Amino acid sequence: MAMLSILSRAIEARDEYTRGHSSRVTAIAESIALRLGWDEERLDLLQLGGPLHDVGKLAISDDVLRKPGRLDDDELAPIRQHPRLGARILLRLSAFRGALPYVLYHHERWDGNGYPTGRAGEEIPLEARVLAVADAFDAMTSDRPYRSALSRDEALAEVERCSGSQFDPEIVRIFLELSAEAGELTAAAAS
């Protein structure tokens, strides 16, 4: 899909620190989804939702997205709206509506302290729960303007620590199993 490629490139062009992020997140999420036994139709929707999960960042100012330090509360407010902004964009593009759960809910937390809606547990669509783990792991293992990347082992420990609070414990269990298997996640993310 040409439009998917264009939107993905536009998202990544906004911020040098997130170049390749969407493809790595999609690859990690796909590994988890395959372990969960998702059918082809659901996997196809993941191939839309993964690359588009941060499409709402297209509506955020460069000053906020590219700030070289930590964001203050005023700057963080629009960042916390990017899932809603992304959902609004996708609602106008009928071919991408199947990606809505990935875009709107990928920053919700298992304990209900996420955003933008404060959903908790199984109220959060499974697609978003899978993507949340992949998204967070890739973010932790990538340099950001305000911090250096964590090592793979440090990031895995953080994902495990956040099981049951930030992340669905079952998705974390599968993710950690996959990470222990012959570099399956690393190989998937690199391809």
Largest separation between any pair of C-alpha atoms in the chain: 43
Task: Please state the pTM of the whole predicted model.
Answer: 0.90
Contact 11, 22 (CB under 8 A): yes
Burial of 184 (0-12, 13-18, 19+ CB in 10 A): middle
**For the domain that residue 59 is a member of, what is the CATH number?**
1.10.3210.10
pLDDT tens readout for residues 48-70: 999 999 999 999 998 888 888 88
pLDDT in tens, the chain (191 residues): 678 888 888 887 776 666 789 999 999 999 999 999 999 999 999 999 999 999 999 999 988 888 888 889 999 999 999 999 999 999 999 999 999 999 999 999 999 999 999 999 999 999 999 999 999 999 999 987 778 899 999 999 999 999 999 999 999 999 999 999 856 555 455 55
Burial of 52 (0-12, 13-18, 19+ CB in 10 A): buried
Contact 168, 110 (CB under 8 A): yes
Domain that holds residue 31: 2-190
How many domains does the chain fold into?
A: 1
